[in-house]
């Protein structure tokens, strides 16, 4: 196993020591996001369907709970950013949280599925609110926020960070694929529609997630330590100052926008796919195949195509080109929106289109950390990487809440054999047109992003400053 006492091996930020990340460590780092995606993938695809069609919770209540929970998420992200910034252990700053939160993560995931029956909608709604926020607002935040900031602490080499994020975002969809493609078949194998089958299924995924998180912890190490530089500064950094600097960092805001809108798009599309497959295509089982081919296309693109192209296009331009591909693919769907074959082909093309955002946005956040240090003389990685956690939860929550509320307004009834024309029309509109609208928003964010060209100069100036003992 990896050396647990990493304190002696961590290098000062200005050290010229080798910060290349070995292949095994790249896989270990990526395994952390595979585990996180067991929750992110399920809450972004099947959770709404589980609540409405299996647990008997009304679509309107599900939507309200999802949206109301977003008010708590912003507070939890900033709170844990403050805590992580002050964490100093022999295992590092961010890495120990992966160990501390592994088991609570598994337990809170299982609790999502233990919705009580034989009670009122109000009681069910309260239970869903409590367990959903325990899992996503508290535990997921305490795990995913420090995990996200690890990449800037494993290495300061820009190319190594791009490779790390390619591994992370290339393998992370495996978690989403597993829960989306395999959940329903496993549930059926455990006896069908009863909650007991769902709880058994969740136990399997929770166990695998905990093991992946332990693999991530034991086989990674933080190589970067800014404490030596920070201790030399006359003015000590405070959480208040870190928070203010985060808000001033325009590239943090753009990364938050890019990631939040991407998660919103993916979550809305994955959530509505369950309904689209069931009522428009005529078979719920299509969810597994359609979702899987999109994710596989995205994985292939992130691992092999994005790293090859980004050297020539830059991060921003590659994301912009990807959004154009998404728009064209969705418009092609209008030719025959009830064709399973066409929907599958469009999903594959859309997977290639969204791959640059998934593969590059966290490398862009690491670049935003360098920009913030260069511009404001403050290093606040945990705060800046909160964009990943905030974007995931706000985007995912808004999408799931929006779908639930829209379906509720249109008269959707999960217990009915036939849905209203308004419900079917709403399902089609969200599935086809929402990704187009959100891709246009992504293109706007790309137009405002200028950091790619500035980064070489920033990196050089930071190296000179840190050699003088300045932050």
∠ CA 139-80-375, rounded to 5°: 140
Of 122, 93, 91, 51, which is closest to residue 412 (Cα–Cα)?
51
Domains in the chain, CATH or no CATH each: 21-219+239-464 (1.20.1250.20)
Structural tokens at position 238: 């405070």
Cα-only R_g, the chain: 22
Label residue 118 left, alpha or beta by phi (over 0 means left) and psi (-120 to 50 means alpha): left
> b/e per residue, 332-360, with b = 16+ CB within 10 A?
ebeeeeeebeebbebbbbbbbbbbbbbbb
**Separation between Cα atoms, residue 111 and residue 103, nearest integer Å:** 13
Per-residue confidence (pLDDT) for residue 280, from 0 to 100: 94
Q: What is the pLDDT of residues 400-446, one digit of tens each?
A: 678 878 888 888 887 777 888 999 999 999 999 999 999 999 999 99
DSSP bridge partners of 92: 89
Q: What is the pLDDT of residues 446-468, one digit of tens each?
A: 999 999 999 999 989 998 998 88
Q: Are 93 and 382 in contact (CB under 8 A)?
A: yes
DSSP states of 225-246: E-HHHHHH-SSPP-HHHHHHHH
Predicted structure pTM score: 0.76
Per-residue confidence (pLDDT) for residue 351, from 0 to 100: 96
**Separation between Cα atoms, residue 357 and residue 79, nearest integer Å:** 27
State yes or no: pLDDT of 383 exceeds 90. Answer: no
Q: What is the pLDDT of residues 233-259, one digit of tens each?
A: 656 678 888 889 999 999 999 998 998
3-state helix, strand, coil in the chain (%, to 5): 80, 0, 20
Per-residue confidence (pLDDT) for residue 355, from 0 to 100: 96
Within a 13 Å sphere around the CA of 267, how many CA atoms are in the beta-carbon half? 30
State yes or no: pLDDT of 10 exceeds 90. Answer: no
State yes or no: pLDDT of 167 exceeds 70. Answer: yes
The residue written with tokens 């009834």 in the block is 413
Per-residue confidence (pLDDT) for residue 109, from 0 to 100: 92
Phi and psi, residue 92, nearest 5°? 115, -165
Q: What is the mean pLDDT of residues 352-357?
A: 96
State yes or no: pLDDT of 21 exceeds 60. Answer: yes
Per-residue confidence (pLDDT) for residue 111, from 0 to 100: 94
**Separation between Cα atoms, residue 47 and residue 411, nearest integer Å:** 19
Average pLDDT, the chain: 86
Per-residue confidence (pLDDT) for residue 6, from 0 to 100: 40
Enumerate helices (H) and strands (E) in the chain, giving the number of each.
23, 2
Q: What is the pLDDT of residues 280-330, one digit of tens each?
A: 999 988 988 898 899 899 999 998 999 999 989 999 999 999 999 999 999
Lowest mean pLDDT, pick from 38-47, 96-105, 140-149, 271-280: 38-47
Per-residue confidence (pLDDT) for residue 74, from 0 to 100: 67
Structural tokens at position 326: 């998404």
> b/e per residue, 146-159, with b = 16+ CB within 10 A?
bbbbbbbbbbbbee
Per-residue confidence (pLDDT) for residue 417, from 0 to 100: 74
As a dihedral over the C-alpha atoms of residue 413, residue 417, residue 423, residue 426, rounded to 10 degrees, the angle is 110
Per-residue confidence (pLDDT) for residue 17, from 0 to 100: 45
Q: What percent of the chain has pLDDT over 70?
A: 91
Rounded to 10 deg, the angle between the 315-332 and 340-376 helix axes is: 160
State yes or no: pLDDT of 343 exceeds 60. Answer: yes
3-state secondary structure of 62: helix
Structural tokens at position 302: 């992130």
């Amino acid at each position: 196993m990896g050396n647990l006492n990493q304190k002696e091996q961590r290098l000062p930020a200005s050290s010229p020591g080798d910060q290349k990340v070995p292949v095994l460590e790249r896989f270990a780092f990526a395994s952390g996001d595979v585990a996180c995606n067991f929750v992110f993938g399920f809450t972004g695809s099947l959770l709404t369907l589980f609540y409405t069609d299996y647990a008997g919770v009304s679509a309107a209540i599900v939507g309200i709970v999802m949206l109301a929970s977003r008010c708590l998420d912003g507070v939890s992200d900033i709170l844990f950013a403050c805590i992580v910034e002050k964490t100093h252990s022999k295992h590092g700053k961010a890495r120990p949280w992966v160990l501390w939160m592994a088991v609570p993560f598994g337990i809170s995931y299982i609790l999502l599925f233990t919705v009580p029956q034989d009670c009122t909608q109000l009681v069910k709604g309260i239970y869903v609110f409590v367990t959903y926020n325990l899992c996503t607002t508290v535990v997921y935040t305490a795990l995913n926020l420090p995990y996200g900031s690890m990449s800037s602490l494993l290495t300061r080499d820009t190319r190594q960070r791009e490779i790390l994020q390619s591994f992370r975002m290339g393998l992370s969809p495996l978690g989403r694929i597993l829960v989306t493609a395999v959940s329903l078949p496993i549930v059926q194998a455990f006896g069908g529609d009863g909650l007991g089958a769902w709880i058994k299924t969740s136990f399997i995924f929770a166990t695998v997630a905990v093991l992946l998180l332990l693999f991530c912890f034991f086989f990674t190490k933080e190589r970067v330590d800014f404490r030596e530089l920070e201790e030399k500064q006359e003015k000590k950094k405070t959480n208040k100052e870190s928070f203010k600097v985060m808000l001033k960092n325009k590239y943090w805001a753009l990364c938050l926008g890019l990631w939040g809108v991407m998660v919103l798009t993916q979550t809305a599309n994955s959530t509505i796919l369950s309904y689209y497959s069931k009522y428009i295509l005529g078979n719920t089982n299509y969810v597994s195949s359609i979702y899987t081919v999109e994710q596989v296309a995205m994985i292939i693109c992130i691992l092999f195509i994005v790293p090859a192209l980004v050297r020539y296009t830059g991060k921003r331009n590659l994301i912009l080109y990807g959004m154009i591909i998404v728009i064209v693919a969705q418009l092609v769907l209008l030719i025959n929106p009830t064709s399973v074959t066409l929907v599958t082909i469009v999903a594959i093309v859309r997977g290639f289109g969204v791959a640059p955002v998934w593969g590059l946005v966290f490398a862009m956040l690491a670049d935003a950390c360098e920009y913030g240090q260069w511009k404001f003389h403050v290093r606040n990685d945990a705060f800046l990487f909160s964009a990943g956690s905030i974007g995931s939860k706000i985007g995912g929550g808004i999408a799931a809440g929006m779908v639930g509320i829209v379906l509720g307004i249109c008269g959707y009834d999960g217990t009915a054999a036939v849905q209203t024309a308004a419900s079917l029309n709403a399902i089609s509109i969200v599935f086809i047109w929402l990704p187009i609208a959100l891709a246009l928003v992504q293109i706007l964010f790309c137009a405002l992003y200028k950091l790619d060209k500035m980064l070489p100069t920033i990196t050089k100036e930071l190296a000179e400053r840190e050699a003088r003992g300045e932050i």
